[in-house]
Structure 1
Amino acid sequence: MGLLDNLKARLEPAKGKVSDLAQQHGDKIDRGLDKMARTVDERTKGKYSDRIQTGTGKAKGAMDRLAHKDDGGGEEGGAAPGGTPGGPPPAGPPPAS
């Protein structure tokens, strides 16, 4: 068993706890991310607004994937319903029209 496999095995129990916490406190996390983004944007005088907004969106997307992992998302890396930008591409060919 390699080092990475050993590390994954040890972190597996924590993954479920993190998912549960993300489900329970998702609204608080979103508010905290928004507050942090506003503060950083104000302190940088709007110089990095687009990057801050992008980073905040990615952080919220990652948190949503953690929180909704049990909702049919399957294994890690599964996108939430509707998909998220930067997520893995859908498996298989596109649906026929």
Structure 2
Amino acid sequence: MGIFDKLKNKMSPDKTKGMSDAAEKQVNERTGHKYEDQVDTAQQKAEERFGVDRDRPDRP
């Protein structure tokens, strides 16, 4: 059992979404939104790993 599995079992989906959104916002602010697409992709992969199901609109 890896670290993600341990965290996944301890955290609620709502709390995970909030933390994920906060992390994305902070990273985007610190990088001047220069890597917004990469940060969004990383957030999606992390949420998938934690089992967070979120409908995301496609970006243009």
Query: Does the TM-score normalized on the shorter chain lie above 0.5?
Result: yes
**For the aligned residues, what is the CA RMSD?**
2.1
Q: Secondary structure at the match of 1:46?
A: coil
Structure 2 partner of 1:31: 18
Percent of aligned positions that are identical: 27
Rg larger for: 1
The gaps in structure 2 that reach 5 residues or longer are 53-60
The gaps in structure 1 that reach 5 residues or longer are 1-10, 66-97
Instruction: Please give the TM-score of this superposition, normalised by the length of structure 2.
Output: 0.68
2:35 matches 1:51: no
Pairs aligned (count) = 49
Instruction: Please give the TM-score of this superposition, normalised by the length of structure 1.
Output: 0.44
Q: CA deviation at 1:43?
A: 1.0
Amino acid in the other structure paired with 2:14: D
The equivalent position to 1:62 in structure 2, one of 46, 49, 58, is 49
Amino acid in the other structure paired with 2:9: D
Amino acid in the other structure paired with 1:45: G
Which 4+ stretches in 1 moved above 3 angstroms?
none
